[in-house]
Amino acid sequence: MNFIGQEAPSWTMDGFGPEGFQQYSSEQLFGQWYVIYWYPRDFSSVCPTEVTALDEHLEDFEDAQVRLFGCSKDTVETHKRWVESKDIFHQGVHHVLLSDPSGEVTSSFDFIHADSGLPCRGLVIVDEFGKIQHYSQSSLIVGRQPKAILRMVEALKSNGLCSSTWTKGDKHIGED
């Protein structure tokens, strides 16, 4: 299924973050760019490395005026216990982890791994009009690199033709 340029599926999910338990929705985020990255589950091996790495770049996402959310099928209570595990997250987690225990939202983005029933490592970048500008998914076994995600966000927001080596501040293809 091709999601690029299409309206993102409408969603409402509970989340746990710096402000505690709250409900979030695509409707609330209309008018803002946002990233949701899906990961298989809390209390696993690769997932905390990815959450930590993305959290270390949270200020960069905020500077780019993009909201960052993680998501799994774990409950918000499980997210809370996981995030508060100081032996896992020494510095805490400063962005919201969304909870989709039924898998309904995850399925609407086609991010359920066929064999395990867990979320695959899915990623969407949604623009201020609620349209998906980036969609990717990968194996459960490899975490993603935050700088690559941030570069994709910045390139999409630059609204120009970006080479494969483009970084923020570079000229677009065709500019003198």
Contacts of residue 34, defined as CB under 8 A and 6 or more positions apart, other chains included, come to 66, 67, 68, 69, 125, 126
65: which DSSP letter? T
Query: What pLDDT is stored for residue 46 in this prediction?
Result: 83
Report yes or no on 78 lying in a domain.
yes
Query: What pLDDT is stored for residue 92 in this prediction?
Result: 81
Q: Which amino acids are annotated catalytic?
A: 47
CB contact at 8 A, 41 and 72 = yes
Report yes or no on 173 lying in a domain.
no
Q: Which of 40, 147, 47 is nearest to 88 (CA)?
A: 47
Q: Which residue has the tokens 């710096």?
A: 18
Q: Record the pTM.
A: 0.93
pLDDT, one tens digit per residue, over 93-145 is 899 999 999 999 999 999 998 888 889 999 999 999 999 999 999 888 888 99
Report yes or no on 154 lying in a domain.
no
Instruction: Quote the domain boundaries for residue 17.
Output: 12-144
Query: What pLDDT is stored for residue 1 in this prediction?
Result: 59
37: which DSSP letter? E
- For the domain that residue 31 is a member of, what is the CATH number? 3.40.30.10
Structurally, the chain folds into a number of domains equal to 1
pLDDT, one tens digit per residue, over 87-105 is 888 788 899 999 999 999 9
Report yes or no on 165 lying in a domain.
no
Report yes or no on 112 lying in a domain.
yes
Q: Mean per-residue pLDDT for 49-76?
A: 94
